[in-house]
Amino acid sequence: MPTSGSTTDPRALITDLAAAIGARHTRTDEDTLAPFLVDERRRYHGAALAVVSPADTVDVATVVRLCGAAGVAVVPQGGNTGLCGGATPLSDVPSVVLSLRRMREIRRIDRLGRTITVGAGATVAEVAGTAAEAGLLFPLSFGAEASAQIGGALSTNAGGTNVLRYGSARALTLGLEVVLADGSVARLGRGLRKDNTGYDLKHLFVGGEGTLGVICEATLALFPPARQRATAMATLSGGRPPAPATGSPATGAPESDGAASAAGAGAGLEVLGRLLDASDGRVSACEWLSPTTRRLACAQPGGARDPFGPGAESLLLVELTSGQAGEDLRRLLEEVLGDALADGLIGDATVADGSAAAERLWQVREAAAEKRAGGSIKHDIAVVPARTPDFLAQATAAVEAILAGVRVNAFGHLGDGNIHFNLLAPPGADPHVLFDSEDLLTGAVFDVTESLGGSFSAEHGIGQRWRGELARRKPPAALDLMHRIKAALDPAGVLNPGKVL
Amino acid sequence: MPTSGSTTDPRALITDLAAAIGARHTRTDEDTLAPFLVDERRRYHGAALAVVSPADTVDVATVVRLCGAAGVAVVPQGGNTGLCGGATPLSDVPSVVLSLRRMREIRRIDRLGRTITVGAGATVAEVAGTAAEAGLLFPLSFGAEASAQIGGALSTNAGGTNVLRYGSARALTLGLEVVLADGSVARLGRGLRKDNTGYDLKHLFVGGEGTLGVICEATLALFPPARQRATAMATLSGGRPPAPATGSPATGAPESDGAASAAGAGAGLEVLGRLLDASDGRVSACEWLSPTTRRLACAQPGGARDPFGPGAESLLLVELTSGQAGEDLRRLLEEVLGDALADGLIGDATVADGSAAAERLWQVREAAAEKRAGGSIKHDIAVVPARTPDFLAQATAAVEAILAGVRVNAFGHLGDGNIHFNLLAPPGADPHVLFDSEDLLTGAVFDVTESLGGSFSAEHGIGQRWRGELARRKPPAALDLMHRIKAALDPAGVLNPGKVL
């Protein structure tokens, strides 16, 4: 997209960028560049002419304009915590990494309107911390929140553990300032709760992964703070052998991993339904761990401790929160779990006594997401909640048919139908046997997901990783629409090429 | 956008439509056409070659394709209750009205996932009624809900009285089936709570007013039902003369309408903040009536009754709802209002004793929105809540400077910063004096709104009515983006031309 004063010499571009943004913030030396050219998990490696760190939106616009004129790609990068390579430049496309890290200013808090306006480079944890100081809650919360930046969190429509109650990043976005591919600046939404003056364009950039524009500033929704919290963990009845169907072997046959997971998830959904109903929807987290995940998460000496000791059932972690002072959330939780116990949905339960005990329950969930020796193949799927048991049974059977003994480390946000269906090599096997079958295994998991009307990327996005899957699995009319939008907004392909589409 | 078999003869088009959709559902006679050519308030009048009523999405696609091939515009129409002429065809563009009324099937309810899937022609009230039968809440609620259809409510991103707690129509939309301008069918979202496989395109069609595609089916979010409800009305301290500032006249000078409204709204916002805080955000409605609106609403013999008798203060109507059984919402409301009374924020308050009493309080709010003899100039603006008092003071002063004695019938959704700022002729004056100054008055109201960073159409949309204002007031970068999207999705301008853009 050449503009006036266009140039095609990369050295000239660097000179222009340094003149505009400052030499200190336009770096080309290998050591400085290195961390920007690889993702946090070291799965994606790329190359760049420079990394530039603009001070403000005007700077960002200048960078995009200069790069566009030079025919050089702009790759926006926040905290670099993404899981799909969306912020890593390609190796074979001349690129500049645009780091938003200097634009971390908290611009303002509107206590009456319950909003916060921040630069894209502020971390998710900083935003939540500033909101908390003002007596308000910013609910977005996920593993990488300490280093993930708001711009990246919005660009990937981040999810996490509070989506059930507060929605994904998208639901929290009331306004954006975006630099477009031609270097123009669009303010979309103004922190208003209602604005029907034309198309709601901000939703193109939330989840757009930097391919349609660069998010520079955001106005985000805040909520009354959680003044009390009740957290519990329970074993789900899925560990028991199911009642034998006519013609099936008598009792005693060990239940398959998939069947146990499916039954556990089904029981967990029933408990969740009761909790939502009893608490007026104030369930802020409903996390589920399969039997295998439970075992793995609590296997490390000195790591997370299984509150029930070793067992073959799935685990459910639920948390209620309220900003209301006089309520007894703990009693409510105990009542619902007591009934669930009486009805055989859960086998055992513990309600955390104080925040340290709650923290210990959360450690079990967090341990589920930890890196495993030898590596794993990660999938982040979603189906409508009612289909979760079918998904678990069918997907487990499908991967077991491809690689006997494969371990399914499945856990996730049960209330959203969002399962992290991660695969590990069979016990004792060389990890290569797993990765040798990666395409087959992933294809099988996604085929099951698709047949159940689900999503093959619920919260992690597309990036580089799932670009082929998107082209293959997205319904043609929707995919064609995406291409038309990309062509309309970035005809020269300046912004984050090779990602998403 | 001519396709194969294209034709330019309107008679041939009607023959083709009748063959495809059925002659019974392809009407060209004047009597049948008439109600489709004028909006409910009889402000906009247009012409059409025919009104067609397809049975399903395939039919809709056929209609769009045939019309596109013939160079005839398609004007989607739901319940025809819009306020901006968005569903009325133009007079000077060959058009076919596409009525969705036959596509009213409730397709399915997912109790576990808390969603409902419906045809675009189902009314808002039908959807809410079906959800209620299944023990769930569909919270979208506004004056025209009995005849407004879901397709139109989503296409205009309808708001109403429950937005504060549950969001606008957009926030409730989990999936759409849309027919595009080329007759292709896109399924966007599948009722999933999480899906990050590419751009979230459904948000282009929610609030797109039928200019980008025709919504044929929607999957919508449901919530736990409200099992208890506490409703109260209070007078806001804005009716008292403010403390005289140094140098201002001593006491006794009557406070201006704008100053009283501003002070009342400010007090109302403070009460709302306390209620949100105390109730964990479970305020489902927070409606405000200016002193003038209060007077007008309760002036009709046999109409709404002012619970406090005549008075010069603004009124606040608040409602808390909960799906939780054991709570005492009434006590909570009484406590907050008691403190507000002690702090001088409110002058008097009444908490409804039972649903009949609550209904009587709502009648006051509903009377505020009734048609006024002689007509009014309606404005539907939004600012961030903290700016509401400024807006009321400045906008009232601005219109009084243009037309002495003009009556400001201002009321609305205080919690969203959304004020219906409607103007009536001075008492006893010919209504023409009002409408003769319409452009000046509206320009002044919108100038104030714009200077406060607000929206000139908070929930009613653009349609035909505010097209000029959009072109004039939308920031150029955002407007240019809208044009690019429209050109990318509907290059030939088949869908609802002359609306929005």
* Full DSSP string of B447-465: HHHHHTT-BSBSSS--TTT
Q: Which two tokens stand for residue A211?
A: 């391919």
Task: Determine the Cα–Cα distance for residues B431 and A311; give it in Å rounded to an integer.
Answer: 79
Task: Determine the Cα–Cα distance for residues B168 and B148; give it in Å rounded to an integer.
Answer: 15
Sheet with A73-77, side-by-side order of all strands:
A26-27, A50-52, A95-99, A73-77
Q: Which two tokens stand for residue A253?
A: 């046959």
| CA-based nearest residue to B186, from A467, A497, A485 | A485
- Quick: pLDDT tens for A285-327: 999 999 999 999 998 888 899 999 999 999 999 999 998 877 7
**A 79-138: CB under 8 A from B:** 110-115
For B450-489, letters b (16+ CB in 10 Å) and e give: bebebbbbbbbbbbbbbbebbeebbeebbbebbebbbebb
Q: Which residue has the tokens 């987290």?
A: A285
A218 pLDDT above the threshold of 80: yes
Q: Which of B114, B196, B459 sits opposite A459 (nearest CB)?
A: B196
Tell me the β-bridge partners of A236.
A346
What residues of chain B lie within 8 A of the CB of A204, using their CB? 199-200, 203-204
A245 pLDDT above the threshold of 70: no
Contact A290, A256 (CB under 8 A): no
Q: For position B8, what pLDDT does the model report? A: 66
pLDDT band at A375 (very low <50, low <70, confident <90, very high): confident
CA atoms within 13 A on the CB side of B162: 17
Contact A258, A359 (CB under 8 A): no
Amino acid at B475: P
Contact A257, B201 (CB under 8 A): no
Contact B436, B426 (CB under 8 A): no
Provide mean pLDDT across the span A388-405.
97
Contact A236, A267 (CB under 8 A): yes
| CA-based nearest residue to A316, from A280, A259, A364 | A364
User: CB neighbours (10 Å) of residue A401?
Assistant: 11
**A 282-321: CB under 8 A from B:** 282
Q: For position A321, what pLDDT does the model report? A: 94
Sign of CA dihedral B118, A262, B196, A119: positive
Strands A173-179 and B73-77: unpaired
CA atoms within 13 A on the CB side of A351: 14
B-interface mutation test, from A156, A196, A383, A495, most B Cβ less than 10 A away: A196
| CA-based nearest residue to B231, from B304, B287, B169 | B287
Q: For position A249, what pLDDT does the model report? A: 41
Q: For position B374, what pLDDT does the model report? A: 82
Taking CA atoms, what residue in B is nearest to A477? B186
Q: Which residues contact B298 (CB under 8 A, 6 or more apart)?
A: B304, B305, B306, B310, B364, B367
Q: How far is CA B445 from CA A239, B382, B461, B471, in A?
A: 65, 11, 17, 17
> Is the ipTM reported for this complex over the cut 0.90?
yes
Q: At A38, is the secondary structure helix, strand, or coil?
A: strand
- Quick: pLDDT tens for B400-419: 999 999 999 999 999 999 99
Q: For position B238, what pLDDT does the model report? A: 62
Q: At B33, is the secondary structure helix, strand, or coil?
A: helix
A365 pLDDT above the threshold of 60: yes
CA angle B284, B288, B292 (to 5 degrees): 160
Q: Which two tokens stand for residue A426?
A: 């069979």
Q: Do B384 and A113 touch (CB under 8 A)?
A: yes
Q: At A251, is the secondary structure helix, strand, or coil?
A: coil
Please identify every stretch of chain B with a pLDDT value under 50, giving residue numbers as ranges: 1-7, 239-254
Q: Do A180 and B481 touch (CB under 8 A)?
A: yes
B-interface mutation test, from A154, A179, A192, most B Cβ less than 10 A away: A192
Contact B333, B320 (CB under 8 A): yes
Q: Which residue has the tokens 């409110």?
A: B346
Q: Is A492 on the interface with B (CB under 8 A)?
A: no
Task: Determine the Cα–Cα distance for residues A37 and B77; give it in Å rounded to an integer.
Answer: 52
Provide the whole-model pTM.
0.94
> Quick one: what percent of chain A has pLDDT higher than 70?
95
Q: For position B369, what pLDDT does the model report? A: 85
- Quick: pLDDT tens for A156-207: 999 988 999 999 999 999 999 999 999 999 999 888 999 999 999 999 999 9
Burial zone of A355 (CB within 10 Å; 0-12 exposed, 13-18 middle, 19+ buried): exposed
Task: Determine the Cα–Cα distance for residues B212 and B203; give it in Å rounded to an integer.
Answer: 11
Contact B462, B425 (CB under 8 A): no
Sign of CA dihedral A56, A58, A61, A67: negative
Task: Determine the Cα–Cα distance for residues A162 and A210; give it in Å rounded to an integer.
Answer: 24
B-interface mutation test, from A161, A195, A420, most B Cβ less than 10 A away: A195
- Quick: pLDDT tens for A332-354: 999 999 999 999 999 999 999 99
CA distance A405 to chain B (A): 30
Contact B452, B383 (CB under 8 A): yes
A-B Cβ pairs (cutoff 8 Å, strict): 266
A256 pLDDT above the threshold of 80: no
Q: For position B159, what pLDDT does the model report? A: 93
Q: For position A9, what pLDDT does the model report? A: 83
- Quick: pLDDT tens for A434-487: 999 999 999 999 999 999 999 999 999 999 999 999 999 999 999 999 999 999
CA distance A473 to chain B (A): 10
pLDDT band at A255 (very low <50, low <70, confident <90, very high): low
| CA-based nearest residue to A60, from A198, A215, A175 | A215
CA distance B428 to chain A (A): 35
